[in-house]
Chains A and B, each alone.
Chain A
Amino acid sequence: MISKEIMQILSVSEIASETVEMVLRNEYISEQAIPGQFLHILIDGHTLRRPISIADINRESKTVTILFKIIGDGTKTLAGFKEGMEIDVLGPSGNGFLIEEQDSVVLLIGGGIGVPPMYYLARTMVKKGKKVIAVLGFQSKSHVFYEEKFKELGETIVVTNDGSYGERGFVTDILGKIGSFDTYYSCGPVPMLRAVTNELQGRRGFISIEERMGCGVGACLACVIPATDEKGYKKICSDGPVFDAREVTL
């Protein structure tokens, strides 16, 4: 259940171009959060909170790691926060990824700032004894992060749009070369998710969608997506952000 919590900032570091890793401490969130959930973060002076996905959890040290890209005033201010400061968050928010107990191999496809939630998912999958294959897409070499951390968990293929590191192109360009898997999980910009779901049509998959949010709790209907059910739509913040690839229309 979503709670309004105060989190202590333990560290802030720029781990790739315009990409910041922040480690936060909070008992409730670290105990409750599952892969795919996000924090709705208040940044002083801003009307709307910023939804940022959870990249990792450590229940022993009660820490929560988030990664975000500096794209506007809010994330720029957040990036300037220092160790020892506190932030007000709502969380853990959203539904999280469904893990199919019978699966033995899972394919994780992350694009840009959609990579972070894939990391906590990958760690959880490995802990459950599943084999993980990760395909990580970035703009260019300076944007690449967490490659080593993913490699510790399983086969990892990095793709950059400009070919400055790893394979050249888009994540979808290499999906044909991947071995067999049971379920795929993907997070990234909508055009990438559209391409991934098209490429893997008919396969069981879950996608995590980002959108500009208002309340972040399901009340304001700012972040909706057309759905195939009779209601006709889903709320990304509260029904998602993770959806079965077949239940929403990208």
Chain B
Amino acid sequence: MNKLAVELPGLSLKNPIMPASGCFGFGREYSDFYDLSKLGAVIMKAATGERRLGNPTPRVAETNSGMLNAIGLQNPGVEAIIREEVPFLAQYNTNIIANIAGSTIEEYEEVALAFNDTEDVQALELNISCPNVKEGGIQFGTDPMMAARVTEVVKKASNLPVYVKLSPNVSNIVEMAQAVEAAGADGLSMINTLTGMQIHLPTRTPLLANKTGGLSGSAIKPIAIRMIYEVKQHVSIPIIGMGGVSTAEDVVEFLLAGASGVAVGTANFTNPFVCSDIIDELPRTLKKYGFDSVKEVIGKAVTLA
């Protein structure tokens, strides 16, 4: 029996580890470092209906224990991704999750439909939480009615399981999670980045050309843990957890909070081998905390009376 294996809607994961969307491109660059077949899954960079060139630079700025980014969903468009990127990733023995984004509900629907024609993608991650584009993205992720609406449309259009990626930039994350669950989401993916800003003192201007960006990295881990823990108590669909994961111990913490899969984002930039290293380390870490398998850790955080 594989102690690291997890079963999720549409995904038979050999281990719960997957690079997060936007932090791994379409895997090509990281395939020079290690065999991508080692990964439980790969979440591809967001796909939109047409090619997007993204925001002006600078697009990244380091912060204490993290970074801000405002890439702006740059991608070659869904058709090019299906034609050129999916076949590359399909060579590897891993699951492919397509992250889909749009400016309008119609665009989300169009992108979701496009992935119906490829056999190599196992699930969709519905990106209603990108903070860095003017239209779409986060506007769908901060209003429960809009989130439910886009979830319904994508569920209807797609023949794949849909994991809705939630934004932490809301006052009530449970309400958002319940809204998309009721709209038919097969799972949740959380959290996306938190909106932030940094000012460069010598020039008195924001460091990012977009002014604001999404904060990621270990700075946001406690927020992710809190939100996953709260949401887990109120929904019955599985959660793919993410937000500042960089070690096998972090993975155990996310599993305890209630995640069934764990995505690694920013840490890939610090160490391109991080996903591979975590997968190697995870069995020892599970054992250290008294567990035999990943499955038995999920949601096992306890509160003392």
* A contacts, CB < 8 Å to B: 1-2, 4, 42, 46-49, 74, 90, 211-226, 231-233, 238
Contact (A212, B29) CB under 8 Å given A47-B269, A48-B67: no
Quick one: which of B30, B51, B58 contacts A219, CB cutoff 8 A? Answer: B30
Cβ B29 vs Cβ A215 within 8 A: yes
Cβ A48 vs Cβ B270 within 8 A: yes
Stretch from B17-25, B179-187, B221-229 forming part of the interface with A: B17-25
User: How far apart are A232's CB and chain B's nearest CB, in angstroms?
Assistant: 6
CA–CA, A243 to B54, complex, Å?
21
* B contacts, CB < 8 Å to A: 22-25, 28-30, 32-33, 45, 51, 53-54, 57-63, 65-67, 69, 71, 74, 76, 217-218, 266, 268-273
CA–CA, A200 to B22, complex, Å?
38
- What residues of chain A lie closer than 8 Å to B218, measured between beta carbons? 47
Nearest CB in chain A to that of B23: its residue: A220
CA–CA, A82 to B270, complex, Å?
22
Contact (A4, B33) CB under 8 Å given A47-B65, A218-B25, A233-B53: yes
- What residues of chain A lie closer than 8 Å to B74, measured between beta carbons? 221, 224, 233
Known: A219-B268, A226-B53. 20 other contacts (CB 8 A): A2-B32, A4-B33, A42-B271, A46-B62, A47-B66, A47-B217, A47-B269, A48-B60, A212-B58, A215-B23, A215-B269, A215-B272, A217-B29, A217-B272, A219-B23, A219-B28, A219-B29, A219-B30, A222-B71, A232-B51
CA–CA, A49 to B271, complex, Å?
9
User: How far apart are B99's CB and chain A's nearest CB, in angstroms?
Assistant: 14
Cβ B269 vs Cβ A216 within 8 A: yes
Cβ B62 vs Cβ A47 within 8 A: yes
Cβ A220 vs Cβ B272 within 8 A: no
Nearest CB in chain A to that of B246: its residue: A47
Contact (A42, B59) CB under 8 Å given A4-B33, A221-B54, A224-B74: no
The 4 closest A-B pairs by CB, nearest first: A219-B25, A222-B60, A219-B29, A217-B29
CA–CA, A219 to B28, complex, Å?
8
Contact (A47, B270) CB under 8 Å given A214-B69, A222-B71: yes
Nearest CB in chain B to that of A231: its residue: B76
Cβ B62 vs Cβ A232 within 8 A: no
CA–CA, A212 to B70, complex, Å?
12
- What residues of chain A lie closer than 8 Å to B217, measured between beta carbons? 47
Cβ A220 vs Cβ B25 within 8 A: yes
